[in-house]
Structure 1
């Protein structure tokens, strides 16, 4: 190619990313799907990552660029916006285009012809397993692809921040008692229906992280009351009857899930996730019914303080480490860890103001509290 990359991290990760897409495309083909996008070879991945990285360090009208780049032919997109003249892939052009393309869901199309990578236009709809690179902030790039189910949070493949590279490790989903929400984020065993409870929780997690206030979401089995033993009473913001707005719309039948349904579901997700910004924890059932928010967590009577937790980050090269819960975060993390330690059929989602995100769950196999650091999967 005529484009000569200089960002070293791009070269170090390109072959690994290509292998990921090849493997997933083979699985999709085996499953009978023929609607997947073309796979970029390693040298193309390197060039796209390089151009995006250097563009991310520039500014246009005083603002750093935010842009999503998708590798596909124009005829693989649905109703694309086509430039009359092709534009070369370069940091300067990406920076100039970024202000008009920074809204969520808009992808700038790039393709290879001969030895040249060129920008051909934009699209709102891309094929399954399409290579996507998001420029999130200066020096921060996220490589991902569209899920096979075609709706909801994209599956992250790798995160690059300066010289730091984190490649998502699918094998983390095979840890005994791995929470279903983590498996779904890793796209392993994820059901095709986006309204599955696990995938709604993913959208809640993304929204919680997005409001940047920090927050705690506790998920308990529907119809149970044992969780009340771990809450300080009285609850200032309890809900009666349980609010079922999100639950009702999430359970709409397949044939009725059109654009208005998707918009309605997104609004309900934002509604519940917004409440997690209130001081205290938000409580929902595993069927997405809101039970309370702004609640204070207390240690259950007769229970011991939680003193150790196994920390897992699902990225290549990461190992499970056992630490005191206080080493993971502040009061919010410690109280969430104590809640799941006492209520072992519950999950806790904790978002920090700095963007870190942790899921706490109890592992019967390990007889230990587990903490999954999933901010890499939520970017």
Structure 2
């Protein structure tokens, strides 16, 4: 490994390993198929360490943004495979980062003669596959795929420099935890059990993608009380109300094909784009 060890990687590894072990065991007991293998502790630490030091490098003036997935090529559907595997090192990661910056593309990592290496790229990963995303220099997120939608993930831990934050699953079961927060975190929501589309997660992902920050205020349908908290006049109000997203979500699950998914993405991006403007976007 190039460079000194990243202390936070060693500190967070036992917690991450316990999280994946617990969920993989529960999934097996439920008869779930297409499950990832449980990563070893030293593997988790090595991936986090390499990704952290890679995030601090710059390649042609750009900081790398990478999504690393721990899986063998055999579990990756139809992957793009390198003719020769690349070593898992900060320098190699920063070199190939531009190839996996686009949403939904992961850099495949697996053992090769007892050493971790990069074997190619993939859009397909199994359930509970260990994924590490490099967001910006020094900021990493450990997560895993949930459900059938390849774009939906549950965050496990966030590392920023020497700071470690573990997502508290149990916190969403507290009586005063808002249902909206539970849905956004992906715990205990219908989406986790039935693989239905969680439009709030889609909106959050799209909002993050524009990189300008933003706020989304969700108000009860049919209520006008929220207007009392708004400073009027509103310079960017929409009339009539944009209802395409709501209409798409009323579509029966059996009728949600490829065209429906594309229409949903367009509607989500239209709303998420508004959040880049100063202030908050209000939806019901």
TM-score for the superposition, normalised by structure 2 = 0.89
Aligned twin of 1:364: none
Paired with 1:213 and 1:139, the residues of 2 have a C-alpha distance of 19
Structure 1 position 30 matched with structure 2 position 23 = no
Aligned twin of 1:86: 85
Aligned twin of 2:133: 134
Aligned twin of 1:271: 270
TM-score for the superposition, normalised by structure 1 = 0.68
Aligned twin of 1:104: 103
Q: Provide Cα deviations, 1:307-363, integer angstroms capped at 9, x if missing partner.
A: xxxxxxxxxxxxxxxxxxxxxxxxxxxxxxxxxxxxxxxxxxxxxxxxxxxxxxxxx
Paired with 2:200 and 2:168, the residues of 1 have a C-alpha distance of 21
Aligned twin of 2:58: 59
- Identify the structure with the greater strand proportion: 1
Aligned twin of 1:314: none
Q: Is the 8 A contact 1:194 1:200 kept in 2?
A: no
Cα drift, residue 207 of structure 1: 2.8
Change (3 A) 1:99 1:241: closer
Change (3 A) 1:120 1:42: same
- 1:321-336 aligned at under 5 Å gives the runs none
Aligned twin of 2:178: 179
Q: Is the 8 A contact 2:203 2:272 kept in 1?
A: yes
Paired with 1:210 and 1:112, the residues of 2 have a C-alpha distance of 31
Structure 1 position 146 matched with structure 2 position 145 = yes
Structure 1 position 119 matched with structure 2 position 127 = no
Q: Is the 8 A contact 2:104 2:150 kept in 1?
A: no
Q: Is the 8 A contact 1:5 1:50 kept in 2?
A: no
Cα drift, residue 3 of structure 1: 9.0
Q: Provide Cα deviations, 1:127-174, integer angstroms capped at 9, x if missing partner.
A: 111101111111111111101343443111111111111111112112
Structure 2: state its 5+ residue gaps: none
C-alpha RMSD of matched pairs (Å): 2.4
Paired with 1:63 and 1:228, the residues of 2 have a C-alpha distance of 43
Structure 1: state its 5+ residue gaps: 286-379
Q: Secondary structure at the match of 2:119?
A: strand
Q: Secondary structure at the match of 2:190?
A: coil
Cα drift, residue 256 of structure 1: 2.6
Q: Is the 8 A contact 1:151 1:194 kept in 2?
A: no
Cα drift, residue 224 of structure 1: 3.0
Cα drift, residue 33 of structure 1: 0.7
Aligned twin of 1:167: 166
Change (3 A) 1:215 1:66: closer
Cα drift, residue 40 of structure 1: 0.8
Count of matched residue positions in the alignment of Structure 1 and Structure 2: 282
Change (3 A) 1:238 1:137: closer
- Identify the structure with the greater helix proportion: 2
Q: Provide Cα deviations, 1:214-273, integer angstroms capped at 9, x if missing partner.
A: 433322222333334444555554444432111112222222323332222121111112
Paired with 1:214 and 1:84, the residues of 2 have a C-alpha distance of 40
Q: Which deviates more, 26-35 or 75-84?
A: 26-35
Q: Is the 8 A contact 1:3 1:116 kept in 2?
A: no
Q: Which deviates more, 208-217 or 174-183?
A: 208-217
Cα drift, residue 68 of structure 1: 1.0
Q: Secondary structure at the match of 2:69?
A: strand
Change (3 A) 1:30 1:186: farther
Paired with 2:117 and 2:167, the residues of 1 have a C-alpha distance of 28
Paired with 2:274 and 2:127, the residues of 1 have a C-alpha distance of 33
Aligned twin of 2:225: 226
Paired with 2:38 and 2:120, the residues of 1 have a C-alpha distance of 19
Change (3 A) 1:59 1:227: closer
Q: Which deviates more, 255-264 or 39-48?
A: 255-264
Paired with 1:145 and 1:68, the residues of 2 have a C-alpha distance of 11
